[in-house]
Amino acid sequence: LILQALRTIVETAGYQQANFFQYDEDRKLFALLESSEQEHPAEIKEILTFRLGEERGLIGVVGESRQALIIPDTKDEPRWVPTDETLRSALFVPVFRENRLLGVVSIVSAQTDAFSEEDARNITVLANNLAIAIENIQLFERVTKSEARYRGIFEGVQDAIFVESPDGNILDINERACQIFGYSREEFLTKKVSDLLPPDGEALLPDRPGGRDIPNHPIETVNLRANGEKFPVEISGRVNNVGDEDVLLVVLRDISDRVKAQQELQESETRFRLLAEFTHDWEYWIDPQGEYIYTSPSCEAITGYSADEFIAKPEFLFEIVHPNYQEKVIAHYHDQVNKLQPEFSMIFPILNRDGDQIWLEHHCRPIFNQAGDFLGRRGNNRNITARVRAEEGVQRQLKRLAALHTIDRAINSSTGLEVILNVLLRQTLEQLEVDAADILLYNKNLLTLSFAAGQGFQTSALKYTRLRLGEGLAGRAVFEQKTVVIPDLAEVEEKFARSQEFKNEKFRSYFVVPLIAKGQIKGALEIFHRSRLNPDSEWLGFLETLAGQAAIGLSEIELFEGLEKANFEINFAYDSTLAGWAYALELRDRETEGHSRRVVDLTLRLAQAMGIKGDALVHTRRGALLHDIGKMGLSDKILLKPGPLTDEEWVLMKKHPVYAYKLLSPISYLNKALDIPYCHHEKWDGSGYPRGLKGTQIPLSARIFAVVDVWDALRTDRVYRKAWSKEKTLDYIRAESGKHFDPKVVDAFLKMIEEM
């Protein structure tokens, strides 16, 4: 089609050349498809492309402006993209249909000023006709493709569909029409529309083709089934032109179930109203359009607004929702309604006519008849303010219990006074909803209270507090061992004299509770708030509970610090004893003097490099220190022999790990340190002693120590040989990897030695 149009332009008007650039809406560019110079169109290819609105390339400019453009002389046009130097003038005309851009026609000439405004108008007319032809072809293709889909829809819908002639003959029906009326397709096609009406019935539609416009909204009437039964229907229709003939397309729905349901609903509405008048809940019923059909008188008792106010303004309920919840409630309600959820509930607060906050429990569910038609919504609103307040009280108590548990955990797990005090103060601010709090500690030797920790202060006004017992509000509260409550500091004569900066805090309410545990004074908990507080007994009771926890925490810290000191002294004594044992062994064997200290240091470094930490590292140190303690069970003849040992002597020598096990295992304190003394002569390939353990059967600490022990032994002078060089010793250790030593331990050791 496009090629023929281009040829017509060239042949009729005598132009040199005409081209068509098709617009690709997805990629926003034009592509040259065909040229009139081609006798036979080849496969369509993109020879040139221009982007919509592109300055370089006039195709894009014309497509953007949708206005014809004449170029008198291409030499004077900077936007001209030269493809042929012989072309001297051009005309560009956009091709579009109903504001949809299809492409651009370009006509070029070897002469300057070859195109006039008249040419532009003529080509524009041709371009409009071309646009109509292109659209018709595309429409034909779409119609052809959709015909099969139409037939599927025609047969698949759940309503009856009739195609009728102007004189009332039935031209076509779908399968659903046969099911509703009880006629076969063949029987239907022999009937007129009047055959489907009862003798005293109305016309199927009030207007026929050739009459007035048929309404496109559904109307209700009565039809007749094949068995003579009357039934209500809902019908709509429109006139369509097929070929040269008008036909009426009618859609009919059997609404028997809906009518029956409506009758039942009308009957039940009376019962519903009677029940609704006697319930404390606010009952309501709204139609499919969201208008109130009914709202019970209880709405006024709950909200202060009359039923008439809600009926007159369906969205009125959302207008009185508390502003903090309004947007969320409206969004959730409409989301559920749009999804036609079977039933949903919401809980939200409203402001009644007096401005008081009332909590509603809102229930709503859609109503359908047996045919699935949506008839509206029914629901109720229940005043649950008392329940919500009770639940808030329970939640508040649970939060306070959780706060006390948090403080308990801090007391039981922390060893630092600062950590416990900060946890206590944070929970105090959160649970009592106050601005600031601090803790003063009591010095029983100086009889003073001093600032220990605080949160919520804007200045350092109270950080240097130091009060004698009985001095100031806090000193007096501790001295008298009672809580002091001052809702308004402006009403008391006694002022805070601890800091000139205190007035900058602008505190108004003040509370102080003495901290007493087991009859002993530990300090005071002070509470500050920048507005007036009038707390109830529950609030004050929790304040005193927090103070009790604080006193317990301070008492626990004192006890812990005493135990920690005693435990340190015991551990120091244990380690001193172990060091004494190792030193005693070195005194016996002068040749290994300093060996224990060196191997302990290297073993700890290598163990840390391999991920051993914490208590396991402590046990590794002790095991390394006592690795040769079993040699205490050997005679001096063997231990101090200057030359090689005999086979019999080696049998005895190899028992020293067993002696170590028997010596240390009864000492529970050293049970976890036994791995090195008992297993450091085991080998990776299983050839070691005393038990011939193999691979990972050997404890990791013993595998680590084995490498360090051999390293130190080979690097030290002995009676029977001189110390080896570093390189020779490392070569030996590499050679024994996978035999004597764990390969992974060897790799870590070599890396450690390289970094030393």
Collapsing DSSP states into helix, strand and coil, what is residue 611? coil
Which pTM does this prediction carry?
A: 0.36
- Rounded to the nearest integer, the mean pLDDT of the chain is 81
Q: Read off φ and ψ for residue 34, nearest 5 degrees.
A: -140, 160
Residue 135 confidence class, pLDDT cut points 50, 70, 90: confident
Q: What is the pLDDT of residue 702?
A: 93
For every residue of 356-414, DSSP letters joined together read: -EEEEEEEEEEEE-TT--EEEEEEEEEE-HHHHHHHHHHHHHHHHHHHHHHHHHHHHH-
Rounded Cα–Cα distance for residues 640 and 635 (Å): 8
Residue 43 confidence class, pLDDT cut points 50, 70, 90: very low
Q: What is the pLDDT of residue 571?
A: 56
User: Does the bond joining 690 to the residue before it have cis omega, within 30 degrees of 0?
Assistant: yes
* The pLDDT of residue 322 is above 70: yes
Collapsing DSSP states into helix, strand and coil, what is residue 75? helix
Q: What is the pLDDT of residues 280-308, one digit of tens each?
A: 788 888 888 888 878 888 888 889 998 88
pLDDT, mean of residues 638-642 = 72
Q: What is the pLDDT of residue 141?
A: 77
Residue 493 confidence class, pLDDT cut points 50, 70, 90: low
**Residues 21/103, Cβ–Cβ less than 8 Å:** yes
Q: What is the pLDDT of residues 569-620, one digit of tens each?
A: 445 545 655 555 555 555 445 545 567 778 888 999 999 999 999 889 988 9
Q: What is the pLDDT of residue 422?
A: 84
* The pLDDT of residue 735 is above 90: yes
Q: What is the pLDDT of residue 34?
A: 57
User: Does the CA dihedral 191-193-194-200 come out positive or negative?
Assistant: positive
For every residue of 416-453, DSSP letters joined together read: -HHHHHHHHHHHHHHHHT-SEEEEEEEETTTTEEEEEE
Q: What is the pLDDT of residue 679?
A: 94
**Residues 317/311, Cβ–Cβ less than 8 Å:** no
Burial of 724 from C-beta contacts in 10 A (0-12 / 13-18 / 19+) = middle
* The pLDDT of residue 706 is above 90: yes
Collapsing DSSP states into helix, strand and coil, what is residue 570? helix
Q: What is the pLDDT of residues 351-368, one digit of tens each?
A: 999 989 999 998 888 888
Q: What is the pLDDT of residue 8?
A: 82
**Residues 631/656, Cβ–Cβ less than 8 Å:** yes
Collapsing DSSP states into helix, strand and coil, what is residue 90? strand
DSSP 254: E
* The pLDDT of residue 415 is above 70: no
Q: What is the pLDDT of residue 95?
A: 92
Neighbours of 505 (CB within 10 A): 19
**Residues 358/383, Cβ–Cβ less than 8 Å:** yes
**Residues 235/218, Cβ–Cβ less than 8 Å:** yes
Rounded Cα–Cα distance for residues 507 and 530 (Å): 4
Which residue matches tokens 């006697």? 278
Pairing outcome for strands 49-51 and 29-35: antiparallel
Q: What is the pLDDT of residue 390?
A: 74
Vertex 615 angle, CA 613 and 617, to 5°:
45
Q: What is the pLDDT of residues 144-196, one digit of tens each?
A: 776 666 666 777 778 888 888 888 888 888 888 999 999 998 999 898 888 88
Collapsing DSSP states into helix, strand and coil, what is residue 105? strand
Q: What is the pLDDT of residue 225?
A: 92
Q: What is the pLDDT of residue 40?
A: 46
Rounded to the nearest angstrom, the gap between the alpha carbon of residue 299 and the centroid of all alpha carbons in its chain is: 39
**Residues 129/123, Cβ–Cβ less than 8 Å:** no
What are the tokens at 303? Answer: 């909200």
pLDDT, mean of residues 3-18 = 81
Rounded Cα–Cα distance for residues 21 and 94 (Å): 9
pLDDT, mean of residues 112-131 = 90
Q: What is the pLDDT of residue 42?
A: 44
**Residues 99/129, Cβ–Cβ less than 8 Å:** no
What are the tokens at 32? Answer: 């040259």
Give the residue from 358, 343, 344, 341 showing the smallest Cα distance to 298: 358
Rounded Cα–Cα distance for residues 198 and 230 (Å): 7
**Residues 474/524, Cβ–Cβ less than 8 Å:** yes
Residue 660 confidence class, pLDDT cut points 50, 70, 90: confident
Vertex 332 angle, CA 331 and 337, to 5°:
100
Q: What is the pLDDT of residue 559?
A: 63
pLDDT, mean of residues 242-261 = 83
What are the tokens at 445? Answer: 């030797």
Q: How far is CA 141 from CA 33, 96, 134, 292, in A?
A: 20, 19, 11, 50
**Residues 358/382, Cβ–Cβ less than 8 Å:** no
**Residues 752/606, Cβ–Cβ less than 8 Å:** yes
Residue 425 confidence class, pLDDT cut points 50, 70, 90: confident
For every residue of 628-692, DSSP letters joined together read: TGGGGGS-HHHHT-SSPPPHHHHHHHTTHHHHHHHHHTT-GGGGGG-HHHHHTT--TTS--SSS-
